[in-house]
Amino acid sequence: MSMEHAQTALSLAQSTGNNGRQSDLFRHFAFIKYRIGDYTAGQVYAKEAHRLARITGHLYIEAQGLLAEAANWMALGNYMQSTLLLDRARSLLHIWGLPRSNEGHSLMIQLGAVHSHKSEYVEAHSVYNEVAQATVNDPYVLGISLLNMADIEVSMGTAKHNIQRKINSAQTLFKGFGIARLSVVCDMVQADLNLREGDMQKEKLGIHKGLQFIGDIFLQENDENRAECMICLGDISEKNGDLLNALELWEMARPLFKRSSQTKQIQAIDERMSRVDQDVKEQHQKNLAHLVTLSVPAGRVDEEDEGDSETELELDEAEVERVVV
């Protein structure tokens, strides 16, 4: 249904006071706005959709309106609000008796997307796997679930042959439906896998298509990007001799990688921190040893001079503690 025809249908529904039809049309508008990137307008339409559905007692349409609003909130980066709306929609679908309907699967896929956007790869993978197990007889939803799992596994460091099997299966399913857009997404994930494996020549076309999506990556301020930046800044600080700042940056990066289950990056951070922490301790011991060996004037010193010397030593040692610990 085009926007123009939908507007005409909405006018007719409003003139007859048909709240149920109005609710369904507002839900339709919300998804249109979502697809064209007008997420704020999409929120407004979605709110009106589930408000009218609640008035009429139509739980199914209310759940769809909540799904539409959740999609727009997710696109705006408010993952907490999106998750709350998805939980409400899931409750309504359970009441309606449709937890494993197409809408129920759409809800789960959207919940997986929220986890993925938050770099919570284990949680996202679990959700997509649950959908895949429940939709073995639904090739379209199964293909989407397999592709999403493959995309996540590239970042998680899963073995290549496991990822390749999922990509191939999804590609076959999508070709059966003649859905070119999703086939292109398969090419993107394939290119991402090739890049991870360092195979730049195997599929130049796939890599080219993957690069077309790289702008989306830079537009997302996700945990993984921030963590990568922190590691680089920590490395620079280490080279400049600012070991404490390096440790602080790596400590901040570690939980971000941990949340997305990227064990190799966590191990690399731990190795950096262990090495630099040892360097800091050794430097501290050297500084203290240097203070102990400071020469004291030969012969008897009066109490005032001795006191001054001890005070200076205490100050010097305190200064060393402040600088290197």
Residues 61-81 pLDDT 10s: 888 889 999 999 999 989 999
Quick one: the chain helix, strand, coil %, rounded to 5?
Answer: 85, 0, 15
Q: Rounded to two decimals, what is the model's pTM?
A: 0.58
Please tell me the predicted confidence (pLDDT) of residue 230.
75
Domain containing residue 95: 1-118
Please tell me the predicted confidence (pLDDT) of residue 6.
67
Kindly report, residue by residue over 259-304, the tens digit of the pLDDT: 766 788 888 889 888 888 888 787 777 777 767 676 545 454 444 4
Q: Which of 93, 118, 143 finishes a domain?
A: 118
Cα(280)–Cα(262) distance, integer angstroms: 27
Please tell me the predicted confidence (pLDDT) of residue 248.
84
Specify the residue for token string 């407004």: 44
- Closest alpha carbon to 280 in 241, 318, 319: 241
Specify the residue for token string 């284990």: 122
Please tell me the predicted confidence (pLDDT) of residue 101.
67
Please tell me the predicted confidence (pLDDT) of residue 150.
96
Pair 209, 308 in one domain: no
Cα(230)–Cα(224) distance, integer angstroms: 10
CATH number at 68 reads 1.25.40.10
- Which pair of tokens denotes residue 214? 């790289």
Distances (CA, A) of 76 to 39, 79, 114, 185, 285: 7, 8, 11, 22, 51
Pair 112, 133 in one domain: no
Total residues belonging to the chain: 325
Specify the residue for token string 């006191």: 307
Pair 73, 176 in one domain: no
Helix residue spans in 138-262 (DSSP H): 139-156, 160-177, 180-196, 204-212, 214-219, 223-239, 243-259
- Which pair of tokens denotes residue 193? 């896998």
Cα(297)–Cα(300) distance, integer angstroms: 8
Q: Which parts of the chain register pLDDT below 70?
A: 1-6, 97-101, 199-226, 229, 260-261, 290, 292, 294-325
Instruction: Based on DSSP, count helices (H) and strands (E) in the chain, helices before strands.
Output: 16, 0
- Closest alpha carbon to 39 in 80, 72, 81: 72
Pair 201, 287 in one domain: no
Q: How many domains does the chain have?
A: 3
Phi-psi region of 261 (alpha: psi -120 to 50; beta: other; left: phi over 0): left
Pair 14, 102 in one domain: yes
